[in-house]
Structure 1
Amino acid sequence: MDGELAVIGLGSIGSMALWQASRLTDSVTGFEAATPAHGRSAVGGDTRLFRMLYRGNPDYYLILERSRALWAELEAETGQNILTRCGGLSIGTNNGPYLSALLDTTRATGAEHQILTREDMAERYPQHNLRDDDIAVYDPHAGALRTERAVTAAVTAAQANGATIHTNTPIDSIEETNDGVLITSGSRSWTFENVIVSSGGWSQRLMPDYLKTATQTKRIFLTWFLAKNPAEFSPDRFPIFIRISGDRSMYGAPAVDGATVKATLDGRGKPTPSADSVLRDLTPGEITETTETVTEFFPGLHPTIVRTDAFPDLFTKDGNPLLGRFSEVSRIYCATGFSGGGFKNATGYGEIAAHEALGKRPFEGLDFVRPRRYRTN
């Protein structure tokens, strides 16, 4: 037996599961096909949005609260500034479907918020060019997560706790045996008591058939623009944002590098044949829609894309993650399928996965993320 737990994939969720597991046992090993935080994974792109306001299942809120606390713990443990606490804006048509749904969820969770009129926005955040019927909802606890820094910090903390790391080690197969779970990479193999599969867009090949049919790898792209006056888009003056105004939508983050602003079309994930065949360049249609949207939304940005990125992520049919064992008796636990929205909750998901995979404690009230919801027998 080579250890109590293996974590396959040290990206957004796997790195956090490894860190959490290293707090529970000194017999945990992480496997990464490339290197942690490599730019071709869903970690790439500098930042992801952290926010307490959202539309959808109110049950996510407890995970968000725990994730927020754990981000602070990771910062304290590693001395890294991971969450830029700049607040957040949800912008949309007054009484439109987006903000109506978001406020319904906010009332259910009790999350702290402030409604800003178009006039309030013009005074406080004039960088945004709002339409006549737009308003905003301000989230005081939102911010921008520094993705590469977060993953690197978690892996470093896990190693300091005694975890073993294998980089440039793609896993070819996993198989449950009488002795545990056999992991194979090329000519090498290991056996562990339990395994967490957290390989993001690369997870499908390690899944049972019933989960393969419930998931799809999609391409997500990101874009950045130069600010005419970078000071106006600095984190202390420009919160993260999500905006859905009529037929246009965009999300983004402040100029954490002091020059470029992330401003990306929202909800444009499209299927890709495999995680290894993601189109890195934008299509002419994507370029046109992105620049037209930025031209309308942000007069203070030069309407020319100066940087792009694209990466794969695994999406489920219902948009909820896969967090749990392949079956009730399986030793393999999956933490994947986060459908483009996992990073903000990565610390919380990592804690759940580590505790449950090691049999330390179960978490209740999570039926909406359990893989068994896709089983037909």
Structure 2
Amino acid sequence: MQADIMVIGAGSVGLAAGYQLARRGARVVLLDEGAPPHALGSHHGSTRLVRYAYGEGARYVPLLLRARRLWQELEAESGESLLLPCGVLNLGRADSLFIHQVAASAREYGLALEQLEGDAIGRRWPAWHLPEGQGGAFEPEAGVLYCERALLAYRRLAERAGARLLEHSAVRALSMDSAGGVTASTAQGEVRAGKALICAGQHSARLLAGLGLSLPLTRVRKTFAWYRADEASMGPGRFPGFSADVAQGIYYGFPTLDGAGFKLGRHDGGQLLAPGEPLAPFGTLAEDREELDSFVHRYLPQVGDFIEGKACHYIRTPDEDFILDRHPEHEQVFFASACSGHGFKFASVLGELFAHWMLDGEPGFELAPFRLARFG
């Protein structure tokens, strides 16, 4: 099979890029190990938080602001409701680097942000029981993004624009062909293209190693769960999404949505996995449940019984910043990897960024903080 561009990994970035490339007239083939959206990568679990005053650093904010516009455009074009601006509360002590960077990025870009002390948080959202010294910063324009719904919209629009998706087509190896293009070997045969975008999650490091690049990535098993909670007190408009930097770790959560319950996960911690190692289901380890239950009992005692839990994985870099780059020797090969557990909200803009870069020669954003060369 021949294409102008192959996209390896039809997850969040892959489907967004496939759509942007196809709508501009490129012949696009997307290859994926499953039938996206699925639970093999990092895009399942129904919802993600969307934050703009960014505790991970102000360098992300220009990407986030463009991403917001693109999610809104995807809503309009697909007819799907994808964004819920219920607000996000960032919790932490005054000396928290995360909270400091939230405030700094809001000042730099003029974003709405309200600083609150712990007692004020408890009065405004009575479900919270915070210790002395704990405060927060509430971002009213932030909220929730329906991730699987968004990927279905991208898939439908990409295929409508002419992109071809090859399901259950894991790429075994990549090679540069004599004509200067890229060849992907799969169980279904070979795919050749003039250019390739690799955004294949846990498989990206292996594929790029075959082209002489070493990516410093680790794979980490993570868990999240839902608990019973009354929508009258913890539904949208009554309880915001949150990111909490507390003594026990870094947690995130969502209001009760669509009758599914209160969703909670832990961002740090987790168990190291080898690429390809099976993902042990939720409950395999005692800590799967214990670390989430302890947060609920300490900070949100009104939350009810456990409903269900799920496991996922993060692909992390040492500094937890993204890698967005192109191969220094094979300039036909581009790669987006290791979004380190905070990447889904950027999928819309990263898809557009790589489409611009591959078709126009420029990404349109300053990518120096995200280049592979920063690791030496």
Short-chain TM bin = over 0.9
In structure 2, what is the Cα distance between the partners aligned to 1:118 and 1:154?
40
Aligned residue number for residue 214 of structure 1: 216
Aligned residue number for residue 271 of structure 1: 272
In structure 2, what is the Cα distance between the partners aligned to 1:132 and 1:318?
31
Aligned residue number for residue 250 of structure 2: 249
Give the aligned residue type for 1:21. L
In structure 1, what is the Cα distance between the partners aligned to 2:91 and 2:104?
15
What is the count of residue pairs matched by the alignment?
373
Identity of aligned residues (%): 27
Judge conservation of contact 1:5–1:196 (CA < 8 Å) in 2.
yes
Contiguous gaps of at least 5 residues in structure 1: none
Q: 1:1-377 to 2 correspondence within 5 Å?
A: 2-179=2-179, 180-208=181-209, 211-227=213-229, 229-282=230-283, 283-302=285-304, 304-327=305-328, 329-374=330-375, 376=376
In structure 1, what is the Cα distance between the partners aligned to 2:361 and 2:171?
26
* TM-score (structure 1 length as normaliser): 0.93
Judge conservation of contact 1:249–1:265 (CA < 8 Å) in 2.
yes
Q: CA deviation at 1:141?
A: 1.6
In structure 2, what is the Cα distance between the partners aligned to 1:364 and 1:136?
30
In structure 2, what is the Cα distance between the partners aligned to 1:272 and 1:256?
31
Give the aligned residue type for 1:289. E
Q: Report SS of the residue matched to 2:58.
A: coil
Give the aligned residue type for 2:263. K
In structure 1, what is the Cα distance between the partners aligned to 2:209 and 2:354?
18
Judge conservation of contact 1:203–1:336 (CA < 8 Å) in 2.
yes
In structure 2, what is the Cα distance between the partners aligned to 1:136 and 1:182?
50
In structure 1, what is the Cα distance between the partners aligned to 2:15 and 2:368?
24
Deviates most, 247-256 or 167-176: 247-256
Q: CA deviation at 1:95?
A: 4.0
Distance 1:112 1:222, change over 3 A: same
Give the aligned residue type for 1:233. M
Deviates most, 162-171 or 267-276: 267-276
Judge conservation of contact 2:354–2:363 (CA < 8 Å) in 1.
no
Instruction: Provide runs of 4+ in structure 1 moved above 6 Å.
Output: none
Judge conservation of contact 1:5–1:193 (CA < 8 Å) in 2.
yes
Q: CA deviation at 1:164?
A: 1.2
Q: Report SS of the residue matched to 2:292.
A: helix
Any idea what the Cα deviations from partners look like across 1:259-286, whole Å, max 9, x if unmatched?
A: 4111122312432012442222231123
Q: Report SS of the residue matched to 2:12.
A: coil
* TM-score (structure 2 length as normaliser): 0.93
